[in-house]
Amino acid sequence: MLSSFDWMIIGLYFFILLSIVYYASRNQKTSTDYFLAGRNVGFFAIGASIFASNIGSEHIVGLAGQGASTGLAMAHYELHAWIVVLLAWIFVPFYYQSKVFTMPEFLEKRFGKEPRWILSIVSLIAYVLTKVSVTVYAGALVFETLLPDTFGSPENAFWIGAISTVTLTGIYTVAGGLRAVLFTDSLQAIILIVGSCAITYFGLEKLGGFNELQVFASENVAQYALWRPLSDPDFPWLGILIASPIVGIWYWCTDQYIVQRTLAAKDLKSARRGALWGAFLKVWPVLIFLIPGLIGAALFEKELLVISTDNRGDIIGDHVFPAMVANLLPEGLRGLVVAGMLAALMSSLSSLFNSTATLFTFDVYKKLKPFATDKKLIQVGRIATFIVVILGLLWIPIMPLISKGGLYQYLQSVQSYLAPPITAVFLFGLFNSRINNKGATWGLSLGFLLGMMKLIIQAFFGKEKIANPEFLAYIGDFNFLYFSGVLFLICSAIICIASYSTSAPNQNEIQGLTYQTLDRKVIRESWDRKDVFATGVILSFVMVIYLYFSFWI
């Protein structure tokens, strides 16, 4: 399906990418250079990397699939630009002033060593269950759809695509460190936006315009609306309002995968502005990734586009975007969009690899070997990356058991079980000086165990799975959005009870680590009217999109 010209475009993209990596890989002398790019990065690269790291192939493939099958139900997760604003204004000052390498390291400064160990382990497991497996799975689907016969069979194309992209991304990440990740992400962010805008334009042109899309969606309001009734089994509006902020604060404000970009800034002002630039870019995925899925469903309904279906005749959502690329785009532009999809896959994986290496090296290995040299730390980080990648590949066959609702729904489902304890510990830790080591330790450990129990039960028990015993089937089918809220309340209660029933932390040891003890003078000097104006623009855009799509059909 790809012409020679398409392959030339893809080849040119990789040549530019590897040239950037070669440039960035020079002068990697210390662990700070390798893991945090020497803490000397400007706001544009930080914001672009935040966006490109988030918008991986699972977003392009998965969001389009969700748009085709469930409409705008997942748009709430893609309108999290307002939470990235929270990162910029509330969380970044704590992290940057503490001069930490990782989020677990910050927890140790605030609470002690036990929460650091727990968060390190939970984060590494989360990367296997969500980021590695989901990103690789989505990228492999692209190969399976666009190159079904190139390697003998679609299944061969799937696994060759998965392994080859992981290998190539691993090579350039290992060579260049975070600096290479940040520089390549800046290029990939541009390609992602251009490619997705192209598919939206050509899709609407073939459909007959945006009005035709509105007519199609209005004929299927129950399936494609932004807000669903409480009776909706998958996305009730109350569940969305509960779970979306919990997952969003964990992902955008406390996860190493995203926050590490701001830690590489040259100063607090650049860190904040980088987060705000990332928030501005985050406004657009609903329009350039989710809407194409709706367009694909409308084209399929009008028999203008062939998309794979299941045995019930329903669209296989995760095949929508690759099918649109293969059938709608002209020669050359098709190659650019495929390069964009590979860029999405590689930007997410490269960010993940670097974050994994940083987490394991500083929060596990260095705690065990405190006098290890910088050379040894970099070597250990590379080994840790390799192990996590292998575990992610092994998890791919299990993913369909967790959720039959599509790739993106799987991602949000798993994150809804991992996020509540971490979100609760960070929020209480930053805004309540009375919360102590016992509260954080018990909240994280019990919350993680409960979340994993739900995930395992959901994989095997429930409707169309094992129906007995009934209480396990009920737990398996219990809506993931509501469970996220219940788990957050349980963790909050555990944190408060354990903290207030034991001695208060030493206030001298948590200076600058809670809202009450933060140096407000330094923070005030780090922002001006430009930052306030940018924040107003971002929040206004989010509000406009919410209002429009709440009433567009």
**Which string of DSSP letters, residue by residue, matches 375-428?**
HHHHHHHHHHHHHHHHHHHHHGGGHHHH-SS-HHHHHHHHHHHHHHHHHHHHHH
Name the token pair of 457: 């039960």
Beta carbons within 8 Å of 474's beta carbon, 6+ residues apart: none
Q: What is the pLDDT of residue 308?
A: 80
Average pLDDT, integer, range 335-341: 78
Name the token pair of 379: 């070597």
Give the C-alpha separation, 429 to 437, whole Å: 10
* pLDDT over 80 at 366, yes or no: yes
Q: What is the pLDDT of residue 69?
A: 84
* pLDDT over 60 at 173, yes or no: yes
- Domains belonging to the chain, first-starting first, are 4-28+46-533 (1.20.1730.10)
Beta carbons within 8 Å of 319's beta carbon, 6+ residues apart: 65, 141, 145, 307, 308
* pLDDT over 50 at 182, yes or no: yes
| Amino acid identity for residue 84 in this structure | V
Say if residues 16 and 10 touch (Cβ distance below 8 Å): no
Answer with the residue of higher pLDDT: 190 or 441. 441
* Helices vs strands, H then E, count in the chain: 29, 0
Give the C-alpha separation, 461 to 491, whole Å: 24
What sign has the CA pseudo-torsion 87, 93, 94, 95?
positive
* pLDDT over 80 at 84, yes or no: yes
Confidence of residue 98 (pLDDT cuts 50, 70, 90): confident
Confidence of residue 403 (pLDDT cuts 50, 70, 90): very low
Q: What is the pLDDT of residue 40?
A: 63
* pLDDT over 70 at 356, yes or no: yes
Residue keyed to tokens 């989901």: 134
Mean pLDDT, all residues of the chain: 83
Nearest to 344, CA basis, from 17, 2, 76, 8: 17
Give the C-alpha separation, 203 to 209, whole Å: 9
Give the C-alpha separation, 268 to 96, whole Å: 6
Nearest to 265, CA basis, from 93, 87, 96: 96
The angle that helices 268-282 and 256-263 make with each other, rounded to 10 degrees, is 130
* pLDDT over 70 at 178, yes or no: no
Q: Please list the alpha-helical segments (H only) found in 283-332.
A: 285, 291-301, 320-328
Q: Where is average pLDDT lowest: 1-5, 303-307, 351-355, 529-533?
A: 351-355
pLDDT digits (tens, 9 = 90+) for 216-226: 988 888 888 89
Say if residues 247 and 415 touch (Cβ distance below 8 Å): yes
Q: What is the pLDDT of residue 17?
A: 75
* pLDDT over 90 at 362, yes or no: no
What sign has the CA pseudo-torsion 250, 251, 254, 256?
positive
Which three-class secondary structure state does DSSP give residue 228? coil
Q: What is the pLDDT of residue 535?
A: 97
* pLDDT over 80 at 143, yes or no: no
Say if residues 91 and 256 touch (Cβ distance below 8 Å): no
Average pLDDT, integer, range 288-304: 89
pLDDT digits (tens, 9 = 90+) for 225-281: 899 999 988 889 999 999 999 999 999 999 887 888 888 888 899 999 999 999 999
Say if residues 516 and 473 touch (Cβ distance below 8 Å): no
Average pLDDT, integer, range 67-93: 91
Give the C-alpha separation, 76 to 228, whole Å: 12
Answer with the residue of higher pLDDT: 498 or 182. 498
Q: Where is average pLDDT lowest: 73-82, 202-211, 349-358?
A: 349-358
Say if residues 198 and 329 touch (Cβ distance below 8 Å): yes
Q: What is the pLDDT of residue 405?
A: 53
Q: What is the pLDDT of residue 414?
A: 83
Which three-class secondary structure state does DSSP give residue 481? helix
Q: Please list the alpha-helical segments (H only) found in 466-514.
A: 470-477, 480-500
Q: Where is average pLDDT lowest: 143-147, 155-159, 362-366, 373-377?
A: 143-147
Q: What is the pLDDT of residue 28?
A: 57
Q: What is the pLDDT of residue 544?
A: 95
pTM of the model: 0.84
List, in sequence order, every residue forming a beta bridge with 52; answer none if it has no partner. Answer: none
